Amino acid sequence: MAFSRRGNEVMVVDNYLHRRLALKHKMPPLVALPELPERCQIWKSVSGYEISHAIGDIQDFEFLEGIVADFKPDTIIHYAQQRSAPFSMKGIEEARLTLMNNITTTFNLIWAVMRHAPKAHIIKLGTLGEYGTPNIDIEEGWIDIEHKGRKDRMLYPRQGGSLYHTTKIHDTDLLWFYVRTYGLTVTDIMQGPVYGVVTDETENHPDLLTAFDYDDIYGTVVNRFVVQAVAGIPLTVYGKGGQTRGFLNIRDTMQAIVLVAENRPKTGEMRILNQFTEQFNISEIADKVCKAALSLGIEAKVAHLENPRLELEEHYYKAAVNKLAELGLKPTMLTEKVLREMLEYVKEHQHKIDKTLIMPRVRWSHALQHA
Ligand SMILES: NC(=O)c1ccc[n+]([C@@H]2O[C@H](COP(=O)([O-])OP(=O)(O)OC[C@H]3O[C@@H](n4cnc5c(N)ncnc54)[C@H](O)[C@@H]3O)[C@@H](O)[C@H]2O)c1
């Protein structure tokens, strides 16, 4: 929608993996959304712009190749992944689905582009979680290393905290291999966890919103805490709550993608950007949500649960984030006003909250027991 509004010819490809998994595991988003063809029609009626679509699996190379050969895109934005860390840690079936889906979609896209649109700019959604939580500063993609008196510039070391994050690391490696070998043009965006409800395009159109997930598997932490506050459930802080990450508003994800597409890297370059606006630890987020909730008369509490994940609960964290600002990104901060708007949106749909979806069901140690 953001690109179509700017006069670009846009096509969307999706196989409804997210919807199918949500249905199978009984974890629907807070509000049900129409399917893609209907959403494209609604967009046309509100904006006058047409977005074409194809429903199919990008793991099917012939399907994807046909689309790239016909459409001949200048830019391809690759979102198509199983993107839940807990899902990828549930058991062997979920782990295999995540591994095969995520690596195959990236691999097929690379080959479709090499064959039919070799000059296209691939914009890949990576994740800040690829870097893990090293005890040194995190750079934007690359690190200059001096070793035994010699220097080189290499991919910043990566160490994912879940299989999902590990598949994203594989993606970065695959892209870098094909960039340096065949001269593809790629931007890999290392994005932190996203929160929020609306973007400029969806603000007054509820049927055009993205899915607002709040369950333990699909929900990202700020959205989950907002729902928990409204539902009167103590906010589920895992362990000590000192886990620090870089967060961003959904509005800024769109802003960033548009900036990245409009400012291509050099042909044959692998550009890596970090994207988040603010670093917080989980306890700080819980406190912010409680404070915003109180300003609306909701008394929210915090519960420290046994941590279902294997992760450091207190650690050093300092990630560089300069390149998007240099391209002109105007950050949206996690203010009390922003949280109040989210709380108000959730309150409108309070009756739809399924309280059985709140507590963490996937433990990192379970994956082994169920394998
Ligand atoms: N949401 C976040 O906080 C966050 C943070 C960092 C990175 N990311 C990355 O951003 C991207 C988008 O995330 P999202 O939160 O919008 O997830 P999402 O699940 O809403 O979007 C991904 C879409 O890709 C589709 N898809 C998956 N596999 C496919 C396949 N084989 N063929 C066709 N379509 C397929 C899904 O059906 C879904 O509609 C992902 O790559 C994710 O790893 C997300």
Q: For tokens 């006058």, name the residue.
A: 48
DSSP code, position 362: -
- Is 16 part of the annotated catalytic residue set? no
- Tokens 């064959």 belong to 115
Measured CA distances, 270 to 176, 238, 273, 316 (Å): 6, 36, 10, 28
Report the pLDDT averaged over residues 155-178.
98
Our answer on whether the CB atom of 220 is closer than 6 Å to any ligand 1 atom is yes
The type of residue at 317 is Y
Concerning whether 148 is annotated as a catalytic residue, the answer is no
Cβ contacts of 212 within 8 Å, gap of 6 or more: 29, 30, 31, 197, 223, 345, 346
Angle at 192 between CA 28 and CA 298, to 5 degrees: 55
Q: How confident is the model at residue 367 (pLDDT cuts 50, 70, 90)?
A: low
CA atoms within 13 A on the CB side of 81: 28
Q: Please, what is the average pLDDT of the chain?
A: 97
Please pick, among 98, 105, 127, 236, the residue that the annotation labels catalytic: 127
Q: How do strand 150-155 and strand 142-147 relate by DSSP bridges? A: antiparallel
Cα–Cα distance for residue pair 107/332, rounded to 1 Å? 33
Tokens of 241: 């709550």
Please give the pLDDT value at position 46. Answer: 96
149 pLDDT more than 80: yes
User: Could you identify the atom of ligand 1 that is nearest to the CA of residue 211?
Assistant: 20
Asked if residue 80 has its Cβ within 6 Å of ligand 1, the reply is yes
Give the per-residue pLDDT at 87: 97
What are the residues whose beta carbons fall under 8 Å from the beta carbon of 22, sequence distance 6 or more? 28, 29, 211, 213, 218
Banded pLDDT at 186 (limits 50, 70, 90): very high
193 lines ligand 1 (CB under 6 A): yes
Under 8 Å CB-to-CB from 275, ≥6 apart: which residues?
A: 128, 189, 190, 191, 192, 246, 248, 252, 253, 256, 321, 324
Given this model, what pLDDT does residue 365 score?
84
pLDDT of residue 305: 97
Closest to 198 measured CA to CA, from 244, 247, 143, 254: 254
For the chain, the helix, strand and coil percentages under 3-state DSSP, each to the nearest 5 = 40, 20, 40
End-to-end CA distance of the chain: 41
Is ligand 1 within 6 A of the CB of residue 199? no
Give the model confidence (pLDDT) of 196-245 as tens digits. Answer: 999 999 999 999 999 999 999 999 999 999 999 999 999 999 999 999 99
Over residues 326-356, the pLDDT tens digits come to 999 999 999 999 999 999 999 999 999 999 9
Tens-digit pLDDT profile for residues 51-109: 999 999 999 999 999 999 999 999 999 999 999 999 999 999 999 999 999 999 999 99
Classify 268 in phi/psi space as left (phi over 0), alpha (psi -120 to 50) or beta: left
Give the list of residues 6+ apart from residue 351 with CB closer than 8 angstroms, or none.
Answer: none
Q: CA nearest 333: which of 163, 196, 134, 197?
A: 196
Beta-carbon contacts of residue 94 (< 8 Å; ≥ 6 apart): 87, 88
Residue of 190, 167, 186 whose CA lies nearest to 178 = 186
pLDDT in tens, 241-284: 999 999 999 999 999 999 999 999 999 999 999 999 999 999 99
Residues 308 and 363 sit within 8 Å (Cβ to Cβ):
yes
CA 95 to chain centre: 18
Listing DSSP states for 274-306 in one string gives EE-SEEEEHHHHHHHHHHHHHTTT----EEEEP
Question: Residue 370's pLDDT is what?
Answer: 54
Cβ of residue 165 lying under 6 Å from some atom of ligand 1: no
What residues contact residue 36 under an 8 Å CB cut-off, 6+ apart? 12, 14, 16, 53, 55
Looking at ligand 1, which residue's alpha carbon is closest to its atom 34?
Answer: 14
CB 15 within 8 A of CB 57: yes
- Distance, in Å, from the CA atom of 187 to the CA atom of 269, rounded to the nearest integer, reads 8
Which of 75, 90, 131, 168 is flagged as catalytic? 168
Domains of the chain: 2-358 (3.40.50.720)
Active site residue 291: no
